[in-house]
Amino acid sequence: MVTQFTVAHLAPDILTEIKLLEEKLRSQVNQNIVLIAYSEKEHLSQTDENT
């Protein structure tokens, strides 16, 4: 079974919080940090993939 994901649709205030957290973590570790929000799209079995 394969699980597919799609980008999560988030409210602007939540996106702002995510960006602030990215910046905070970036400054703490001195490395680029990217947080990704996603939603589970659907489950596909191996046989579904081949059709």
Q: Coil, strand, or helix at residue 31?
A: coil
**pLDDT band at residue 42 using 50, 70 and 90 as cut-offs:** low
Q: Coil, strand, or helix at residue 43?
A: strand
- Note the pLDDT of residue 26: 97
User: CA 6 → CA 16, 26, 27, 29, distances in Å?
Assistant: 20, 25, 28, 28
**Is the pLDDT assigned to residue 51 strictly greater than 50?**
no
Higher pLDDT, 29 or 2: 29
- Residue-wise pLDDT for 3-37, tens only, equals 788 889 999 999 999 999 999 999 999 999 999 99
Q: Are strands 2-7 and 38-44 parallel, antiparallel or unpaired?
A: antiparallel
- Note the pLDDT of residue 39: 87
Q: How many residues does the chain have?
A: 51
- Enter the tokens of residue 29: 């570790």
Judge if pTM exceeds 0.85: no
